[in-house]
Amino acid sequence: MKRKTSIRLALATALAALSASPSLAGNPDRAGSAGAMQLLLNPWTRSNGWGLANTASLRGVEAMYGNVAGLSMVRKTEVGFANLSLPGAGLSINSVGLGQKLGASGVLGISASVFSFGEMEVTTYDVPEGGRGTFRPSMSNIGVAYSKSFSNSIYGGLLLRVVSESVSNVRSTGVCFDAGIHYVTGEKDNVHFGIALKNVGPAMSFSGDGLAVQGLLTSGSDQLTLQQRSAKQEIPSLLNIGAAYDWHISEVHRLTVAGTFISNSFTKDQGLVGLEYAFRKMLHLRAGYTYEKKDSGEDRTTWFTGPSAGLSIDFPFGEEKKSAVALDYAYRTTNPFSGFHSLGIRITI
């Protein structure tokens, strides 16, 4: 009876996500009109190795970006760190995530990503060429998640994320949530399906002294300060639908093929495919490809040109070698610039 209830709950969640898909259909005409576009940039290393094609098989703290349902697969405690850098643009993202088991089936997760853009030249309407010093923009995302295993096959989770963007005199803060389910089946739990609804929340707007201007009355010399209001900007919501299959070639070799369809609300839809080879659960090699339709005479709406690759080395320790320290690396090609590199470390207890 309990298993039937869990299945009904998972199906209801999936139908609710799919019912939202018409409003999330890819719409390139709206490209560039959303705010908080950093939410579309995956800050984690392992999943970047195959371009987030593994939406259906994500697990651990990285799942708090791609499909929060995978957070429920944390065995006891998991801590992850990642650094993503785009040398050609001076962009760097530092991320940290923590997953902690609560009770028999629940996991609480916390994640944070901080963006660094380096020093930027101050320009104004009167002095557009700069020369008045530099400033540092501030941008960060903080998420709190809870994920639960409803049975040996069905997992689900919710995440609340706070988005912040600011300079010294202008700030914007917003909230959004993610929801996801993960279904596992097969003789060796080798068939995976996943659905994730991401970045759903109210529109954001900017405020602060930087939007104020001073002017003179039409008659007289009195000066007034006028506060301008920022237009609202919607958050780039999307829907991920993915599947993955594990081939256990032998006790020491595994090959996984995965695919994900992303329905974007402000850009074109995307298709992701990827492969992962694992040796003794210690060495992992990954490759992926991101496809986005390019209409004749139109530019792409993503800077990713397609290929991605990565590797991980796990060092098990402790009783029965169930705990591990893992080192991760990933590379994704981009245009413009020359691609970005991502390094990560993960500790599982």
Q: Of 290, 325, 332, whose CA–CA distance to 84 is shortest? A: 332
Is residue 76 a part of any domain in this protein?
A: yes
Is residue 218 a part of any domain in this protein?
A: no
Is residue 217 a part of any domain in this protein?
A: no
Q: Rounded to 5 degrees, what are φ and ψ at 275?
A: -130, 145
pLDDT digits (tens, 9 = 90+) for 31-75: 677 889 999 999 999 999 999 999 999 999 999 999 999 999 999
Return the DSSP state at 328: E
Q: Is the CB of residue 196 less than 8 Å from the CB of residue 239?
A: yes
Q: Of 296, 275, 299, 273, whose CA–CA distance to 285 is shortest? A: 275
Q: In DSSP terms, which residues pair with 290 in a beta bridge?
A: 272
pTM of this structure: 0.87
pLDDT digits (tens, 9 = 90+) for 108-151: 999 999 999 888 888 887 888 887 888 889 999 999 999 999 99
Return the DSSP state at 99: E
Is residue 222 a part of any domain in this protein?
A: no
pLDDT by 10s per residue, the chain, length 349? 444 444 454 444 444 444 444 444 456 667 677 889 999 999 999 999 999 999 999 999 999 999 999 999 999 999 999 999 988 788 899 999 999 999 999 999 999 999 998 888 888 878 888 878 888 899 999 999 999 999 999 999 999 999 999 988 899 999 999 999 999 999 989 999 999 999 999 999 999 888 887 776 666 667 777 778 888 999 999 999 999 999 999 999 999 999 999 999 888 899 999 999 999 989 999 999 999 887 665 666 778 889 999 999 999 998 878 899 999 999 999 988 889 999 999 999 9
Q: What's 79's domain CATH number?
A: 2.40.160.40
Is residue 155 a part of any domain in this protein?
A: yes
Q: Of 155, 170, 138, 144, whose CA–CA distance to 56 is shortest? A: 155
Structure tokens at 6: 């869990």
Structure tokens at 109: 């997760």
Q: Of 177, 237, 198, 194, whose CA–CA distance to 59 is shortest? A: 194
Query: Token pair 């700030």 is at which residue?
Result: 171
What residue type is assigned to position 256 of the chain? Answer: T
CA distance linking residue 154 with residue 344, whole number of Å: 28
Residue 160 burial (CB count, 10 A)? 14
Is residue 22 a part of any domain in this protein?
A: yes
User: Number of structural domains, the chain?
Assistant: 1
Is residue 223 a part of any domain in this protein?
A: no
Q: Is the CB of residue 99 less than 8 Å from the CB of residue 107?
A: yes
Task: For residue 285, give its domain range.
Answer: 2-204+237-348
Q: Report angle CA 225, 229, 233 to the nearest 5 degrees.
A: 155
Is residue 216 a part of any domain in this protein?
A: no
Give CA torsion, residues 161, 149, 344, 332, to 10 deg.
-80
Q: Of 328, 329, 264, whose CA–CA distance to 302 is shortest? A: 264
Residue 19 burial (CB count, 10 A)? 9
Query: Token pair 């929340």 is at which residue?
Result: 201
Q: Is the CB of residue 250 less than 8 Å from the CB of residue 15?
A: no
Distances (CA, A) of 56 to 136, 194, 248: 37, 4, 17
Q: Of 107, 42, 38, 139, whose CA–CA distance to 344 is shortest? A: 42
